[in-house]
């Protein structure tokens, strides 16, 4: 009932608060024999960590992962993989002035109504700090996918819009992403976004964003036809990320403005000779790699929209716990755009969903569908 666990066959349970001693998680259902590279987990955490550039929160966390159980001599044992990440730069004093205020657009009000108590130190459990746990678990989930489907299985993401300014499809280059602090595939957009972030900071304001994630090397056949549809679980996973307010798969909301003929992912015979093509190739991917709730073998593609950061240095009207009308002004180290560091979080959640469904498919059907060509 508390809702701190995610998945069915591969279950992540997380714990910890933003300004507590540590955060951590346990990933249960890991199959035995999966090769685990701790450096890969740390690399994923480093991509999400604060302080990586002047465009994100300046909180200084090393996000060093410590594996507590479930791995022996570099491979999973089949038992829960538990891990911990210490909070080395917590500053709860930054929130002392607002402990009796309800910050606008935060969880303060709704959580007080639900629990009768709240942790004002950076939002406690509602803080995006907990997403480091998701990223560590997502790195492990990707290792499961590669264990099952080979090294061709991949999950990657990009920031494609910031403050209403979208990347150009003509300039899209996945190789550009490691070269800039925005996870952006468009070098021209990066130059524009730097100024947008600087201007927002000077105005004591924040910006929203849209991220895209996609998985390749995923076979056909993952997912269920009704309540546990693959696209439904992807939507839930991405929607569970802090600040996310919208999710779409494939053409998404754009499908409502298309005709059936335009939206149809037509199929032809595949004469490439590839053994894993199933003899079929698709001419488009408006479905985002999911048909009838089940993966089609095409790339699985989804996008998610994030609201502007709620913590602002400028005063905002609110009320305190006694009902008096006051102004809230949040101090501390906050991202001017939470969408920047959300890219590796989205990748992690997509990997967790796919690994969970891969293990469910193996358990129910004993195998997998046709791998993508």
Q: Which domains does the chain have, with CATH numbers?
A: 5-250+287-365 (3.60.150.10)
Q: What is the pTM of this model?
A: 0.92
Q: How far apart are CA 77 and CA 30, in angstroms?
A: 8
* pLDDT tens-digit profile, the chain (373 residues): 578 999 999 999 999 988 788 999 999 999 999 999 999 999 999 999 866 667 666 666 778 999 999 999 999 999 999 999 998 766 666 666 777 888 888 888 888 888 888 777 767 788 888 999 999 999 999 999 999 999 999 999 999 999 999 999 999 999 999 999 999 999 999 999 999 999 998 888 999 999 999 999 999 999 999 999 999 999 999 999 999 999 999 999 999 999 999 999 999 998 775 655 567 899 999 999 999 999 999 999 999 999 998 887 778 898 888 889 988 877 665 788 999 999 999 999 999 999 999 999 999 998 776 544 4
Q: How far apart are CA 241 and CA 367, in angstroms?
A: 31
CB-CB neighbours of 170 under 10 Å: 7
What is the residue whose two structure tokens read 């994923």?
44
Rg of the chain, C-alpha, whole Å: 21
For residues 134 and 352, the answer to whether their CB atoms sit within 8 Å is yes
Closest by CA to 263, choosing from 288, 245, 236, is 288
């Amino acid at each position: 009932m508390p809702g701190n666990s995610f998945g069915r066959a591969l279950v992540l349970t997380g714990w910890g608060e933003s300004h507590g001693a540590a955060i951590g998680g346990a990933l249960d259902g890991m199959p035995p024999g999966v090769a685990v590279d701790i450096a890969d987990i740390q690399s994923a955490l480093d991509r999400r960590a604060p302080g990586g550039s002047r465009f994100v929160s300046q909180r200084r966390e090393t996000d060093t992962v410590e594996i507590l159980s479930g791995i022996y001599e570099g491979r999973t044992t089949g038992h829960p993989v538990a891990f911990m990440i210490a909070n080395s730069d917590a500053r709860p004093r930054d929130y002392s002035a607002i402990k009796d205020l309800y910050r606008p657009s935060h969880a303060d009000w709704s959580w007080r109504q639900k629990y009768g108590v709240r942790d004002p130190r950076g939002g406690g459990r509602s803080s995006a700090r907990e997403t480091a746990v998701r990223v560590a678990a997502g790195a492990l989930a990707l290792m499961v996918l590669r264990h099952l489907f080979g090294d061709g299985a991949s999950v990657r993401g990009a920031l494609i819009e910031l403050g209403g300014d979208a990347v150009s499809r003509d300039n899209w280059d996945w190789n550009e992403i490691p070269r800039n602090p925005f996870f952006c595939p468009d070098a021209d957009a990066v130059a524009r976004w730097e100024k947008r972030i600087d201007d927002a900071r000077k105005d004591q304001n924040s910006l929203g964003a849209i991220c895209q994630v996609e998985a390749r090397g995923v076979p056909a056949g993952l997912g269920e036809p009704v309540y546990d549809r693959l696209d439904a679980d992807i939507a839930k996973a991405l929607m569970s990320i802090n600040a996310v307010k919208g999710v779409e798969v494939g053409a998404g909301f754009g499908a409502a403005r298309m005709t059936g003929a335009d939206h149809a992912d037509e199929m032809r015979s595949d004469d490439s000779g590839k053994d894993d093509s199933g003899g079929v190739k698709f001419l488009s991917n408006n479905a985002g790699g999911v048909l009838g709730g089940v993966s089609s073998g095409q790339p699985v593609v989804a996008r998610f929209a994030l609201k502007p950061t709620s913590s602002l240095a400028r005063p905002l009207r609110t009320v305190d716990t006694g009902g008096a009308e006051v102004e809230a002004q949040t101090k501390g180290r906050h991202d001017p755009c939470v969408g920047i560091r959300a890219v590796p979080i989205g990748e992690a959640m997509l990997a967790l969903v796919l690994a969970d469904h891969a293990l469910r498919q193996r358990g129910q059907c004993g195998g997998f569908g046709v791998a993508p060509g």
